[in-house]
Amino acid sequence: MLLRFRAPTDPRPSEITPESVYLDRRRLMAGAGALALAGLAPGGASAAKREDYAPLADVAASPLSTDEDANSFEEITTYNNFYEFGTQKEDPARYAGQLKTSPWEIEVGGECAKPGTLGAAELITSHQLEERIYRLRCVEAWSMVIPWVGIPLATVLKRFEPTGNAKYVAFETLHDPTQMPGQRRSVLDWPYREGLRMDEAMHPLTILVVGLYGRDLPNQNGAPVRLIVPWKYGFKSIKSIVRITFTEAQPPTSWNMSAPWEYGFYANVNPNVDHPRWSQARERRIGEWGRRETLMFNGYADQVASLYAGMDLTKQY
């Protein structure tokens, strides 16, 4: 966990983002029962509290946030997918604490004029941080609303001056089985890899995330730096990034490599294209009873549909 100390004059991010504002009464009351239904391990995995994480200084509110109720800190930090720490939803909360996230460097290279390294601490102090409250929709048909703290990916990538040959951006997670016990088993071909087309990477909704609820990012959510692409299924949003490479060819991606008939490169949230083993028409919002309709591009169609004009989204899924 990165420790930062707030100057006495800084605005308190916790005043921008009090958790209670995001939780309506109904969900607070239904919360305990719904968590039990979701099959969460009681206690154990949920030991960390919001107050255990250092507040981030100078976090600006973003007009790109949704006004839906956010999920609780506990829901967001105990119901995770992070296969480097195990395949069960409660494994990341149990085992990711051992990951050393400071110091942390990201190698940036490939088709760019100024390859180099990006330190996670420097990334946080040298950019305006923004709170982006986004929906996150997993291909397993659950969703959450999460108050991330991040930086537009475009702002960061431009520093490295991508060349005209840069058509895609590839991302890699740390590969270190001594720290990531899930990597001792070959459930995926490690390291975890993801990629975006350049226009997707440069879209203003795409962010590098460094915090949650105004504070340092918990390890189980991908500390110290992870990607969030809110109109795509959760698996595109790669965690604990150590490498970013500009490429001319479409890069290989972990889920597409492991099951190409189930997971395409684009992975746009699309209620009209079923996963081969289950429907994508509806989703369960963690903490709610029943299901809600899944929205095209996870509700971000107005902002991103034009990126895919002319593509057959049933083939390029």
Ligand X SMILES: Nc1nc2c(c(=O)[nH]1)N[C@H]1C(S)=C(S)[C@@H](COP(=O)(O)O)O[C@H]1N2
Question: Segment 23-52, which members bind Mo ion (CB under 5 A)?
Answer: none
Q: Hey, which bits of 63-167 come out as E strands?
A: 105-110, 116-119, 129-137, 142-152
Q: Rg of the chain over CA atoms, in angstroms?
A: 19
Return the structure tokens found at 235: 């698996």
The verdict on 81 binding Mo ion (CB under 5 A) reads yes
The verdict on 83 binding ligand X (CB under 6 A) reads yes
The verdict on 134 binding ligand X (CB under 6 A) reads no
Per partner kind, with CB cut-offs from 5 to 8 A, the member of Mo ion, ligand X, none near residue 173 is ligand X
The verdict on 148 binding ligand X (CB under 6 A) reads no
Question: Segment 178-217, which members bind ligand X (CB under 6 A)?
Answer: 192
Return the structure tokens found at 263: 């997971």
Rounded least distance, CB 7 to ligand X, Å = 29
Indicate which single residue of 34, 40, 48, 136 sits in contact with ligand X (rule: CB under 6 A): 136
User: Which among 224, 113, 226 has a CA at the least distance from the CA of 165?
Assistant: 113
In the bound state with ligand X, the residue whose beta carbon lies nearer, of 240 and 253, is 240
By CB under 5 A, which span of 55-63, 138-146, 203-211, 267-275 interacts with Mo ion?
Answer: 138-146
Rounded least distance, CB 85 to ligand X, Å = 8
Q: Is residue 235 within 8 Å of 255, Cβ to Cβ?
A: yes
Alpha-carbon span 172 to 169, nearest angstrom: 10
Alpha-carbon span 310 to 316, nearest angstrom: 11
Per partner kind, with CB cut-offs from 5 to 8 A, the member of ligand X, Mo ion, none near residue 239 is ligand X
Give long-range contacts, CB 8 A cutoff, 24+ apart: 191-194.
191/242, 192/83, 192/84, 192/238, 192/239, 192/254, 193/238, 193/251, 193/252, 193/253, 193/254, 193/257, 194/170, 194/227, 194/235, 194/236, 194/237, 194/238, 194/253, 194/254
Q: Is residue 295 within 8 Å of 284, Cβ to Cβ?
A: no
The verdict on 286 binding ligand X (CB under 6 A) reads no
Indicate which single residue of 120, 138, 157, 205 sits in contact with Mo ion (rule: CB under 5 A): 138
In the bound state with ligand X, the residue whose beta carbon lies nearer, of 96 and 304, is 96
According to DSSP, the β-strands at 282-285 and 292-293 are antiparallel
Alpha-carbon span 55 to 68, nearest angstrom: 23
Per partner kind, with CB cut-offs from 5 to 8 A, the member of ligand X, Mo ion, none near residue 84 is ligand X
Question: Segment 233-262, which members bind Mo ion (CB under 5 A)?
Answer: 234-235
By CB under 6 A, which span of 2-10, 35-43, 102-110, 229-237 interacts with ligand X?
Answer: 229-237
The verdict on 81 binding ligand X (CB under 6 A) reads yes
Residues near Mo ion, by CB under 5 A: 81, 138, 234-235
Given the rule CB under 6 A, which residues bind ligand X?
A: 80-84, 136, 138, 173, 192, 221-222, 234-235, 237-240
